Amino acid sequence: MKKTEFLAELRRLTPQELLARRDALEKDALSLRLQTGGAVLKNVRAIRETRRNIARLNTVLREKSAAAAGGEG
């Protein structure tokens, strides 16, 4: 999935759905890191992509919380 498609998909989700998605990505990242220790992982780029997707997700969460805070004041 391209970065722009991923971001567009994230922006459509609610904050609760984003938190659930982040938890799933963090579990995936842990699994990938553990696989590198046993030399099972074939695609080491997947670790970087997962880490970056978590960062993108956190950015969207911050955008949504900033928009909610700005709308209240």
Per-residue confidence (pLDDT) for residue 17, from 0 to 100: 94
Question: For the chain, what are the domain ranges?
Answer: 3-64
DSSP 42: S
Tokens linked to 69: 């805070």
Per-residue confidence (pLDDT) for residue 2, from 0 to 100: 80
DSSP for 5-28 reads HHHHHHHHS-HHHHHHHHHHHHHH
Per-residue confidence (pLDDT) for residue 72, from 0 to 100: 64
Q: Which fold has domain 3-64?
A: Helix Hairpins (1.10.287)
**C-alpha torsion sign, points 13, 52, 24, 20:** negative
Q: How far is CA 34 from the centre of its chain?
A: 19
Query: How far apart are the C-alpha atoms of 66 and 14, rounded to whole Å?
Result: 14
Per-residue confidence (pLDDT) for residue 49, from 0 to 100: 93
User: pLDDT of the chain along its 73 residues, tens only?
Assistant: 688 898 899 999 999 999 999 999 999 999 988 888 877 778 888 889 999 999 999 999 999 888 888 876 5
